[in-house]
Every structure is written in structure tokens, then in C-alpha cells.
Structure 1
Amino acid sequence: MPFDEHGQRRGRRPSRNVLGGPIAVCSSEPMTGFFRNGCCETSPEDLGSHTVCAAVTAAFLAFSKARGNDLSMPRPEFGFAGLKPGDHWCLCAPRWQEALEAGAAPQVVLRATEEGALRHCKLEDLTRFAIDLT
């Protein structure tokens, strides 16, 4: 089994979020993440860098669909019911950055956004869209 009893990938160090702490769960309903463990963890196999935990919006879903990735369409063959506004989902960091530049970036859960997102996005931009800071 590739995961331990805490949902962490075996054989690698625990994932850290963009704030430097342990990564939090992004969503288990719907189940998200490159590894489908609810966390926005990444690895060299994750070519899309599914590292940004976002609360998707109708504007973002329309933007993504226009870019060729219809996240709202159910894909039962993959156990995917399709996303609706308000769902939390691990987005590809380059797509989040693209949406930011187009004015369609969704809000972000920083504690569940993996530090690898910083290879594609600036922390200050992610922070401006954060919903989990007090």
C-alpha cells in the first residue's frame, strides 16, 4: 500500500504547506489530490503539479472548461461526479496562475496548499485569495 495509516505517502517526507506547516486535508468529499487521498500532495509523477487547494467558483469552472478541462462534467468511469461551486479541489498550480492572470482565480486554502505550488505561484498572490487566514 502506498499510504501509511495517516494517509501520508510511504517512503517520502511529510508534505508541507505554503506556510511551512504540515499539509491539511483539502477535501474528501469529493475526494481530491493527485494520489486521491484528500491532500494536494505532489511527486515527480504529478506533471500537472496538483498542489493548490481551491474552493472552486462558477467563474473558475467556466474558465477551466474554456481551456479544455471541464471539471464540472461527471466522469463516472473515473468515479468523478463533477465539481460544483464551493467544492474544494486540488488544482494544478499553473492553471491557478493562469486563472489569476485572467481574473478568474478561485479562493485558496493555504494550509492545504502544498509548498510545490510556489514553483508556479507567488505566496503573496495565493495569500490574497486565502480563505483560511484570520
Structure 2
Amino acid sequence: MPERNVLGGELAVCGTDPTTGFERDGCCGTHPDDRGRHELCAVMTDEFLSFSKQRGNDLVTPRPELQFPGLEPGDRWCLCLGRWLEALEATRTRHLPETTVPFVVLEATNEAVLDSVDLETLEKHAYDV
């Protein structure tokens, strides 16, 4: 059975250039070995990439041994749910720019994230194409 998105529909592809997902299949699916929960499809921003690097997760530098090309603003990426929530909290408590929280592609974000963040919050950060 296909995985579902936060809107209740079939999970859409998040990104193929670069190819994302825990299994590098372009989708933010769930996987029993994915401790980071790469289930949220986010559109990268300069502010988020800088924030993530400061927090010890450099998403800009390529890591070919991990099939990771390095990300640029505008790239869609299956992001660790915890990192997205961390950025959200930082905008609230540290008064960081709102763009520190990357936009969410709802159609490509796995419904599994709803156990940690409500749909209303996701919709406030939804990516408009």
C-alpha cells in the first residue's frame, strides 16, 4: 500500500535533483532503519542551511560516500523531522528570521510527521509553487 501525505493523499515525490529520501528514491517515506525520520519534504533556504551547519549538520558540503551531493537554496530535501522542529523552535525563542524554517511541500511530506507536528503548523509553512 502506498504511503500517504499529510493531506491524506498518495505521497508525492519530494526531489530528484538531487535525489532525496532515506532510500534515495526521491520520496520521504518511512523506514525502520531511519532513526532521523527523513519524512518531511522541505525547500532549502540560505538561513536554514546556515542554521543546520551551526547545529553540526552540514548540508552544503558534498559527501559522495553517502550519495550526498550537498544542497543549495531551492533544493527539495527529505529533512529530519527533528531538525525542522528545532529550526521552528529557534525562530520562536531566539527570534531568528522566519526563513530559518524551510518551507514544507505538503503533498510530499509523510503523514507520519503528524505524530509530532500538527497540520495547521505545517500549513503555515507550506511551500506555494
| Same fold (TM > 0.5) | yes
Q: Does 1:111 align with 2:99?
A: no
Q: Does 1:98 align with 2:86?
A: yes
Q: Is the 8 A contact 1:52 1:112 kept in 2?
A: yes
Matching residue within 3, 15, 32 for 1:15: 3
Counterparts in 2 of 1:24-43, with a 5 A limit?
24-43=12-31
User: Which whole-Å CA distance do the structure 2 matches of 1:43 and 1:75 have between them?
Assistant: 22
User: Which whole-Å CA distance do the structure 2 matches of 1:27 and 1:73 have between them?
Assistant: 18
Q: Is the 8 A contact 1:55 1:109 kept in 2?
A: yes
Alpha-carbon offset, residue 87 of structure 1: 0.3
Larger relative contact order, structure 1 or 2 (CA cutoff 8 Å, min sep 6): 2
Q: Pairwise CA RMSD of aligned residues?
A: 1.2
Q: Is the 8 A contact 1:40 1:90 kept in 2?
A: yes
* Counterpart position of 2:126: 130
User: Which whole-Å CA distance do the structure 2 matches of 1:44 and 1:62 have between them?
Assistant: 29
User: Which whole-Å CA distance do the structure 2 matches of 1:127 and 1:86 have between them?
Assistant: 19
Q: Percent identity?
A: 58
* Counterpart position of 2:64: 76
Q: Secondary structure at the match of 1:89?
A: strand
Matching residue within 39, 53, 62 for 1:65: 53
User: What 5-or-longer segments of structure 1 have no aligned partner?
Assistant: 1-12
**AA aligned opposite 1:52:** L
TM-score, normalisation: structure 2: 0.89
The number of residue pairs the alignment matches comes to 121
Query: Which structure dedicates a bigger proportion of its chain to helix?
Result: 2
* Counterpart position of 1:4: none
User: Which whole-Å CA distance do the structure 2 matches of 1:28 and 1:118 have between them?
Assistant: 24
User: Which whole-Å CA distance do the structure 2 matches of 1:111 and 1:71 have between them?
Assistant: 23
* Counterpart position of 2:96: none
**AA aligned opposite 2:61:** M
